[in-house]
Structure 1
Amino acid sequence: MDQAAQLRNMIKQQNQHKTSARVITVTSGKGGVGKTNVSVNLAIQFKKMGKRVIILDADFGLANIEVLFGIIPGSNLGEVMFNGKEIKDILTPGPLGIEFISGGSGIQELTNLGKEQLFFLLQKLNEIDYLADIIIIDTGAGISSSVLEFVLASKEVLLVSTPEPTSITDSYALLKALKKLDTFDQENTSIKVITNRASSVKEGENVYSKLNVVVNKFLDMKIEHLGIVPQDQNLQRAVMEQKPISLLYPNSSASKAFKEIAEKLLEVEQDRQTDKNSMSQFLTNFIKIKKLFK
Structure 2
Amino acid sequence: MTDQAEKLRNLVQSMKGKSKEKTKDKLTKGSVIKKENSAYVYAITSGKGGVGKSNLTANLALGLQREGKEVMVIDADLGMANLDVILGVSPSYNLSHVIRGEKKLEEIIVDGPDGLALIPGGSGLEELANLSSYQINNLIDCWNKIDKEFDIILIDTGAGLTNNVINFVLAADEAIVISTPEPTSITDAYGVIKVIAKHDQEAIIKLVVNQVENSNEGNKVADRLVKTARDFLKLEVSLLGVLPTDKAVTKAVKKRRPFFLEFPKAQVVKSTNQIVAKLLDKEAKEKEPKGIKGFFNKLLNF
* TM-score using structure 1 length: 0.84
Deviations 1:100-152 (A, max 9, x none): 00013xx4x64244142556544433332222111111111111000000011
In 2, Cα distance between equivalents of 1:124 and 1:31: 31
CA separation of 1:176 and 1:273: change in aligned 2, threshold 3 A: closer
Q: Give the AA of the match of 1:82.
A: R
Does 2:291 correspond to 1:278? yes
| Residue in structure 2 matched with residue 256 of structure 1 by the alignment | 270
Secondary structure at the aligned position of 2:257 is classed as coil
Q: Give the AA of the match of 2:183.
A: P
Does 2:126 correspond to 1:111? yes
Does 2:109 correspond to 1:127? no
Deviation at 1:69, TM superposition (A): 1.1
* Contact map agreement 1:76 1:102 (CA 8 A) in 2: yes
Secondary structure at the aligned position of 1:74 is classed as coil
In 1, Cα distance between equivalents of 2:65 and 2:210: 21
| Residue in structure 1 matched with residue 167 of structure 2 by the alignment | 149
* Contact map agreement 2:76 2:125 (CA 8 A) in 1: no
Deviation at 1:156, TM superposition (A): 1.1
Does 2:79 correspond to 1:65? no
**Higher mean Cα deviation, 123-132 or 137-146?**
123-132
| Residue in structure 2 matched with residue 12 of structure 1 by the alignment | none
Deviations 1:78-113 (A, max 9, x none): 111113422222110000000100013xx4x64244
CA separation of 1:270 and 1:175: change in aligned 2, threshold 3 A: closer
| Residue in structure 1 matched with residue 25 of structure 2 by the alignment | none
Secondary structure at the aligned position of 2:296 is classed as helix
Any unmatched runs of 5+ in structure 2? Answer: 1-34
**Higher mean Cα deviation, 137-146 or 78-87?**
78-87
CA separation of 1:227 and 1:96: change in aligned 2, threshold 3 A: same
Secondary structure at the aligned position of 2:56 is classed as helix
* Contact map agreement 1:40 1:244 (CA 8 A) in 2: yes
Q: 1:205 aligns with which of 219, 240, 250?
A: 219
Deviation at 1:246, TM superposition (A): 0.4
In 2, Cα distance between equivalents of 1:168 and 1:119: 40
CA separation of 1:85 and 1:61: change in aligned 2, threshold 3 A: farther
Q: Give the AA of the match of 2:270.
A: K
CA-based RMSD of the aligned residues comes to 2.0
CA separation of 1:230 and 1:263: change in aligned 2, threshold 3 A: same
Q: Give the AA of the match of 1:34.
A: G
Q: How many residues align?
A: 266
CA separation of 1:214 and 1:270: change in aligned 2, threshold 3 A: closer
| Residue in structure 2 matched with residue 48 of structure 1 by the alignment | 66
* Contact map agreement 1:87 1:128 (CA 8 A) in 2: no
| Residue in structure 1 matched with residue 205 of structure 2 by the alignment | 191
Q: 1:22 aligns with which of 32, 35, 40?
A: 40
In 1, Cα distance between equivalents of 2:294 and 2:254: 37
In 1, Cα distance between equivalents of 2:256 and 2:142: 30
What percentage of aligned pairs have identical amino acids? 38
Secondary structure at the aligned position of 1:271 is classed as coil
Deviation at 1:226, TM superposition (A): 0.7
5 Å-filtered alignment, 1:75-94, equals 75-94=93-112
Deviation at 1:271, TM superposition (A): 2.5
Deviation at 1:272, TM superposition (A): 4.3
Secondary structure at the aligned position of 1:71 is classed as coil
Deviation at 1:215, TM superposition (A): 1.3
| Residue in structure 2 matched with residue 246 of structure 1 by the alignment | 260
**Higher mean Cα deviation, 247-256 or 209-218?**
209-218
5 Å-filtered alignment, 1:24-39, equals 24-39=42-57
Q: Give the AA of the match of 2:68.
A: G
* Contact map agreement 2:70 2:150 (CA 8 A) in 1: yes
**Higher mean Cα deviation, 143-152 or 55-64?**
55-64
In 1, Cα distance between equivalents of 2:280 and 2:50: 27
* TM-score using structure 2 length: 0.82
CA separation of 1:162 and 1:118: change in aligned 2, threshold 3 A: farther
Secondary structure at the aligned position of 2:41 is classed as strand
